[in-house]
Structure 1
């Protein structure tokens, strides 16, 4: 330890769990770092933010600026996806301290002759540490400072900012304090922050009872692109086991022709690296990936680390599973529920290293087929260390890979998975319905440390989740939840055909399972059927693409509306222009009229100035003045409005858009 180093560096932000985990950002983001940097006494302090791409030897520097109460802030722009390191350095700046005191003494009318000689000495000492070019400039300045007979001229020379910068840049760091940690930020591609997901079962795309194929899926791509989705998520496409196969409605015994659950992976036809024969071939899958890309869509593949009793792993690696005293393999259970068609992997096997390598090979295999997005089934039931290792390995293979955690579990477990490297996370959004619940939950996600590592992906429904709100709210409920998901979160998705058609019939009262659940049978969907909400889906996805304010999540600000069933919020763009206001009627049964409080000063509207409210959903235009506006939201017709505000500029012939 250097006992003469006098700087303290504390409360560095952001960092997760004292630097144990990486912060998440997107390529092109400005990485803003704050810290308390201070010294004993009253000397001037310099603080630097150091950063580099992981693996590089040379640190780059960004000078930090003082905020208040010894708080400092610095930033740097993040480049291509990958891992970056950052840390801080600070030191007592004797030359700037001398400049500060020189100015005070001179302005007080004191004789500063000795002070000028002290400044010259500091410059001479600095020259001894500098390179030849800088040393020559410093000695020239020291000589000029000593030779100047007019104190006013000498003081002006000594107070030059460029001189202080030169001293700080090339020397004066001998007693600097370096922060004791090198923190890490993981930089992902834009799709990690902004994506619109559509889920479907390819096997349901056949006609007249025929098993659908991947080729049928390819034929549907133009329609999915027209709807505005850029991620097509497919449940497992692997062979399905026959032993203990579940029938319709999760019946314990399957009937002839029942296709079984896609999550019961593995049969004589193969396992996790094989395509179900009735879906097609591996060549068909590669063709699907290529054609999807041509339509601006990426294929997201389900990653489910579990097996059917017929999976080849059970014969090849019985040590990876748990066997009961009667000689049978332990199937999956969540008492009292039983999943006899699914066999969980025993991650406490003594052969865990061999198991991990095999699971990695599954991910790498599908990455080699062009997959860069994985929706991970129940990651919270697998070991944390395995995920940290596996995601790290996948990131080394391609920094573009994205993992969505399907972990509807306890908050701390969800948070841990995000910290370990999951790019996106399912959330509790599906069950947050009231104004208070939504406000509290979004505040939790977008304020504080959670925003530094967790990116939520809002799904109003999934093949496993049909909430009570959707069951009883009818078509208005589906429209309301769609608007909320698409505007509150920059990542959102729907279980497609069922949501388009507002399917809300549960298996039985009190259940969140669908009647005639597609998990267990092939469904025929008339996606153009009556009551569908395809037009609203198209409109919302177009608004999302056209407005950057909806392409991030942490920019939400909740605003006042005088009706507890009307949620009102702003999505703030980086600049005033482009921000949006959203008002949503949360009541699917009643028309609601609410008075909205508009914080116009935040958006460039002057007191007394008229402005235009343009509803991007309904298309209505209205001119307002003042900080309140009234909205009428009919859940059957227009349950929500997305407003852009524009103001008239007299010197121009058009509106100047602020929203």
Structure 2
């Protein structure tokens, strides 16, 4: 912050500005701050905000909140997805100062001679305001200025037109001693980020017959029915190869039968890991067609990013350091005592955080 007036406790701000606040396109975003000054002169505040294109949006004046709290409020409505910025400015408002003083002095019975300096100050402010208001309103300001300096007019007629400019000069104020606060960011998402109805959808279960797995192609036939129920998003459990080592049977049984498919969350086998589609479900081309068919029904597809592995996941062989090794030298499987999940190895993110992050990023971008 640089300038004359303190600006504190700005909102919305996340973790002192280290992270952006969140908003949604066309949803109102309340902005507030605490700003104050000494003395009786009027203080004003406004929000300066800019869109992802860097272009500033219209000046937004802030209004004072509860008396004695020194808190100011405004609302902005970002209209595009992306990173927005905003800051709060505080300034001296000479018109409000003049309006307040003149109104009180006239009410107290003071005449033109007593108000000579006030009238001159008002003329100075209106002369500055004339270049700040929209072109269509400039004649009003010019007429008010002419009246204010006309000593032949009664006092009420001299000050009346100037006092009538209150609303106009609220929206287009004369600003002095402008103080610029810190700049903060707001990430604005599309409207579906605000709310949506998710449907958990197992492609393997759609069209499965006689022990034969459903596929992306057979699952596509169910999409109109899901959309008709009012859902927005299809949530897919992991669609990757399922491990064969320590594969579980029904109800977490330790032994799987020859037709048991195992848990989709026991990810990885000889066919591949998190960047591979289970061959029973189809090909990448089939998956793209499924996504396109969902989109045609107004549905988006959300994939489960489950960062865990079956014992035969390629990561286990290629990067054993990404897992926890127990005292006997074996890799620790998942446990939620007293439950045991011998078919799943949790990733130990402390062992190689940079390497794991790079691989997870690669997987995410692969699906993107």
Partner of 1:424: none
- TM-score between both structures, scaled by the size of structure 1: 0.50
- Structure 2: how far apart are the matches of 1:121 and 1:200? 70
What is the rounded CA distance, in whole Å, between the counterparts of 2:335 and 2:346 in structure 1?
9
Aligned mate of 2:221, from 213, 219, 222: 219
RMSD: 3.1
What are the superposed Cα offsets for residues 545-604 of structure 1, whole Å, 9 maximum, x if unpaired?
xxxxxxxxxxxxxxxxxxxxxxxxxxxxxxxxxxxxxxxxxxxxxxxxxxxxxxxxxxxx
Q: Which has the larger radius of gyration?
A: 2
**Structure 1, residues 108-150: CA drift from partner, whole Å, max 9, x if none?**
33122232123334556x489989x9xx988997666334432
- SS of 1:85's equivalent? strand
C-alpha separation in 2, matches of 1:292 and 1:129: 56
Q: 1:216 to 1:130 in 2, by over 3 A?
A: closer
* Structure 2 residues not aligned, in runs of 5+: none
CA distance 1:366–1:31, shift in 2 (3 Å) = same
Counterpart in the other structure of 1:73: 73
Any gaps of 5 or more consecutive residues in structure 1?
368-659
SS, match of residue 304 in structure 2: strand
Report the Cα distance in structure 2 between the residues aligned to 1:239 and 1:42, rounded to whole angstroms: 73
Rounded to whole Å, the distance in 1 between the matches of 2:320 and 2:294 is 38
1:620-631 equivalences in 2 (<5 Å): none
Q: Secondary structure at the match of 1:323?
A: coil
Between 354-363 and 34-43, the greater mean CA deviation after superposition: 34-43
Q: Which residue of 2 aligns with 1:239?
A: 241
Report the equivalent of 1:314: 316
Q: Distance in 1 between matches of 2:168 and 2:298?
A: 53
Displacement of 1:164 in angstroms is 7.1
Query: Which residue of 301, 320, 329 corresponds with 1:299?
Result: 301
Cross-structure match for 1:110: 110
Q: Is the 8 A contact 1:306 1:342 kept in 2?
A: yes
- Verify the 8 A CA contact 2:65 2:72 in the aligned structure 1: yes
For the pair 1:159 / 2:157, whether they are aligned, the reply is no
The residue correspondences of 1:246-645 to structure 2 (distance < 5 A) are 246-350=248-352, 352-367=353-368
Which position in structure 2 is the counterpart of 1:584?
Answer: none
The Cα of 1:52 is off from its aligned counterpart by: 1.6
Q: Provide closer, same or farther for how the CA distance between residues 58 and 210 of structure 1 changes in structure 2, counting only shifts above 3 A.
A: same
Number of aligned residues: 358
Q: Which protein, 1 or 2, shows the higher relative CO under an 8 Å CA cutoff with sep ≥ 6?
A: 2
Do the aligned partners of residues 338 and 192 (structure 1) sit closer, same or farther apart at CA in structure 2, a change above 3 Å counting? same
**Counterpart in 2 of 1:26?**
24
CA-CA distance at 1:20 after TM superposition: 4.3
Could you tell me how far apart the structure 2 residues matched to 1:259 and 1:200 are?
17
Conserved in 2, the CA contact under 8 Å of 1:103 and 1:155?
no
**Separation in structure 2 between the aligned mates of residue 2 and residue 269 of structure 1, nearest angstrom:** 60
- Answer yes or no: is the 8 Å Cα contact 1:52–1:84 preserved in 2: yes
TM-score, structure 2 as length reference: 0.85
The Cα shift of 1:267 comes to 0.9
**What is the CA distance between 1:302 and its match in structure 2?**
1.1
CA contact (8 A) 2:324 2:331 kept: yes
In structure 1, how many angstroms separate the alpha carbons of the residues matched to 2:175 and 2:120? 18
- Corresponding position of 1:209: 211
Give the deviation of 1:101 after TM superposition: 1.0
Distance 1:142 1:273, change over 3 A: same
Select 1:50's aligned residue among 48, 51, 72. 48
Aligned match for 1:149, one of 149, 152, 160: 152
State the Cα distance separating 1:316 from its structure 2 match: 2.5
